[in-house]
Structure 1
Amino acid sequence: MPNLELLEEKEETTFFEEDEDQANGLESSRAKRLSELDEIAGIVVAGTDWTTATVLDQLVRGNIQLNPRFQRRDAWNITRKSRFIESIILGFPIPQIVLASNEKERGKFIVLDGKQRLLTILQFYGKSETPNNKFSLKDLEFRPELNGCTHEDLENNLLSAEILDPLDNQTIRTTLIRNWHTDNFLYKIFLRLNVESTPLSPQELRQALHPGEFVNFLDDQSVKSQALRKILKSKNPDFRMRDVELLLRYVAFHYFLSEYRGNLKAFLDMTCEVLNKSWKKRTDDVHYAVSQFEKAVETTIDIFGEKNFSRMWLGTSKVYRRQFNRAILDVMVFYFSDGLIREAAEKNKTAVENAFKELCSSSENGFREAVEGTTKNIRETHIRLSLWGYALLGVLDLEFNLPELVDNRIIFNGLR
């Protein structure tokens, strides 16, 4: 019988990793670095040894902000969850939890590291509204006699005090960061904490720092999106929140391309802030735009095939690169979200695919570098959008506007 978990992991979409320098502001000027050092000097980092019971209480009261939207993005299987609970019972050392004070809500904390551990505690104690709530312990190494037991089972067994007391009273090292002033500072800590573990999308932190109705909509829509399920080859929400970020990238370039200044993180943050504030006025329009994203992805798949869409064509090898490329998806949905362009492309599938292959095969036009190098600066963003637009104009019997580059700024007032 094949291991379904291993098969699912094998099928997971591999992303081409873009150069992150532009996104995370690592090319700081000396003055900026000095300012950041001043901020670091002003923060307060304190360690505390909360017990499991205290951590659970903080979670239940909502002081540690592990909201239901995150809880459905469950990355650990039951075996991993069970062995984490076993480690607490046995008093084994476990990684620390890192929290930052929420400067907007006194007494509440944003999780920088440890969400899956916190979610596991919440689920085992039966305080989460998720499919894995009240899970039964499984595949324990040192206490196999507890396999099959839930927390409720242990509570109802008078002989289980030797298990529950150590579980409730075990200390979990927790680091609290206070007196921070900029989102960018927390992003850098977040990325530094995760550099040696499973890479997490900064989108997870973005949603904690910029909550609002638009961000909630984006999260909900990413769960419903059939297009994103096909991109990620998964039936479940992505625990790294790459699905939300892909959709956010589309919305940001769709509405605010002319506001892009080469820092993708700041651009996506700004999109969340603006649309959160104007959500009531723009709800219908954003809903429509996102519905066009679904159709744009379907058209892209229809033309290139589900295996190859949004991947680089390697002309010398006459194959598509295996990794999924976010920058290529950006340009595809930018144009195919327009109904007329989409309709014309679907009538000329072979010509459109050949135009893309020719664009990728050229060593002189700069397209390859614009989707696989430092992809986030203004020049490369303009190059890939404009070159793919020109390629489409060349094979479609249709006229539409292209982004222009003026004084290192992208000028764009819509396709029509």
Structure 2
Amino acid sequence: MEQAVSANVDPEPKAVTAAQDELLTAIDKKIGEVRTEAIDLSFGEIMNLMKDNEIIIDPDYQRLFRWSEEQRSRLVESILLRLPIPPIFFIENEDGRYELIDGLQRVSSMVQFLNHKAVDKPELVLKGCDIVGDLNGMTFDVLPLTLRLQLKRSTVRAVVIKRQSKNFLRYEMFKRLNTGGSELSEQEIRNCSARIFGEIGVVFYEYLVELSKFPTFSSTTNTLADADEEKRGREELVLRFFAAKNGPQFYHGNVAEWLNSYMESVFLGNCKFDYDFERKLFQRVFDAVYRVCGEGAFCKYKNDLPIGGLAPAYFEAVACSFARQIEKVESVDPIRLNGILVASRQTNEFRSNVGTGANKRTKLIGRIEILEEAIKSA
């Protein structure tokens, strides 16, 4: 019996090896580079902080206000029933103010119900409440005082990423929290993550927004699907242009990871980015694309006619080939050049680089080179 007991005794713990010690030290160091603080804020406090401009809620780079009235109403219902809601996330700016980076839907929905004028929205009338149906049709002002006070005093857990945190780790933290199962689009995550990275991220994000509004770029990307446009699709196309032109080496088959890797390389200085040069070239390229190809520039073609909406692979091929041969493009007859490009995009060689299985770096480079050669022949 004694032998059986001793047989189950855990062996002596092994000594920590040098490699394990280095791993523990590396992790401890990284932990120290991200500083967070968790606080509970009532919705009444949040409204006061917004009024005093001590917190910043910026839908321009957050997701658009997409929740339906039913979703907003059910959030109010959940809070009245004291059901738990997910936390919200802030970053602390250099001036000490908190900038909301995740949770816009929850905060905006509650503020709209409590004081719709604060977010410049119509008064929220509850609808779709399926646990307490009597709430439907009610506004904040007609609720009993007890419930009005309960809503104002109800709290949400707020995680604050402190300004002392390392920029890249703040960026990575947000990106990981919002990747997978998130309602944000890939570009909305990038936009928000860029702001978290620090000044260089803010500058780069605002640069993408600026170029996405350039007139001929807007015109030539007019065939972008409405759903993609609502999710910052034009800004993603600007980033995609620069990634295809300057960073094909980062492409390994997954477009989202490719664009993330290229953007991060710009932030970290691993990929040089001359803002003035790139802006001037961008404008020349899309002026030329509009003059030569018109609004069907990035569509597929069949029987010499454009079909469907904007095709990203065609966008990369046309825009980057124009960038490589901008001097030639600006000097040749636009009608003749467009005819050559339309014919090139209908060849089996080009289609083999944009169809099924085209998510390869060799295919990306191949489709650009095919159209570049076509331009040279004009």
Alignment match, 1:96: 87
What SS does the corresponding residue of 1:87 show, helix, strand or coil? helix
Q: Give yes or no for contact 2:300–2:345 (8 Å, CA) kept in 1.
A: no
Q: Give yes or no for contact 1:137–1:149 (8 Å, CA) kept in 2.
A: yes
Give the partner amino acid of 1:192: R
What SS does the corresponding residue of 1:109 show, helix, strand or coil? strand
How many residues align structurally? 326
Alignment match, 1:83: 74
Give the Cα separation in 2 of the matches to 1:72 and 1:385.
30
User: Deviation at 1:218?
Assistant: 3.6
Give the Cα separation in 1 of the matches to 2:194 and 2:59.
16
Alignment match, 2:299: 301
CA, structure 1 residues 100+361, in 2 after alignment: closer, same or farther (shift >3 Å)? same
* 1:183 is aligned to 2:167: yes
User: Deviation at 1:169?
Assistant: 0.6
Report which of the two structures shows the higher radius of gyration computed on alpha carbons. Answer: 2
Give the partner amino acid of 2:43: T
What SS does the corresponding residue of 1:99 show, helix, strand or coil? strand
User: Deviation at 1:170?
Assistant: 0.6
- Equivalent of residue 116 in structure 2, options 126, 145, 150: 126
Give the partner amino acid of 2:38: G
| 1:106-185 alignment, distance < 5 Å | 106-111=96-101, 113-124=102-113, 125-127=115-117, 132-151=121-140, 154=141, 157=142, 160-178=144-162, 180-185=164-169
Give the Cα separation in 2 of the matches to 1:163 and 1:91.
11
Give the Cα separation in 2 of the matches to 1:62 and 1:236.
30
Give the Cα separation in 2 of the matches to 1:149 and 1:227.
46
Alignment match, 1:329: 315
Structure 1 gaps, min length 5: 1-30, 311-324, 374-379, 400-416
User: Deviation at 1:185?
Assistant: 1.3
C-alpha RMSD of the superposition: 4.2
Give the Cα separation in 1 of the matches to 2:290 and 2:54.
36
Q: Give yes or no for contact 1:345–1:352 (8 Å, CA) kept in 2.
A: no
Give the Cα separation in 1 of the matches to 2:118 and 2:281.
34
Give the Cα separation in 1 of the matches to 2:156 and 2:318.
47
Q: Give yes or no for contact 2:299–2:314 (8 Å, CA) kept in 1.
A: no
What SS does the corresponding residue of 1:106 show, helix, strand or coil? coil
Q: Give yes or no for contact 1:187–1:205 (8 Å, CA) kept in 2.
A: yes
Structure 2 gaps, min length 5: 1-21, 252-260
Alignment match, 1:266: 264
For 1:112-160, what per-residue CA distance to the aligned partner results, in whole angstroms no more than 9, with x for missing partners?
A: x322222323333224555x44333222223434434444xx1xx4x63
Structure 1 outlier segments of 4+, above 6 Å: 31-34, 258-262, 281-285, 293-297, 366-369
Give the partner amino acid of 2:224: I
Alignment match, 1:19: none
Q: Give yes or no for contact 2:92–2:160 (8 Å, CA) kept in 1.
A: yes
Q: Which has the higher contact order (CA 8 A, sep 6+)?
A: 1
* 1:234 is aligned to 2:227: yes
What SS does the corresponding residue of 1:91 show, helix, strand or coil? coil
Give the Cα separation in 2 of the matches to 1:54 and 1:175.
15
Give the partner amino acid of 1:265: M
User: Deviation at 1:186?
Assistant: 2.2
Identity %: 18
Give the partner amino acid of 2:316: D
| 1:201-220 alignment, distance < 5 Å | 201=186, 202-208=190-196, 209-210=198-199, 215-216=205-206, 218-219=208-209
CA, structure 1 residues 108+394, in 2 after alignment: closer, same or farther (shift >3 Å)? closer
Give the stretch that moved more between structures: 170-179 or 195-204: 195-204
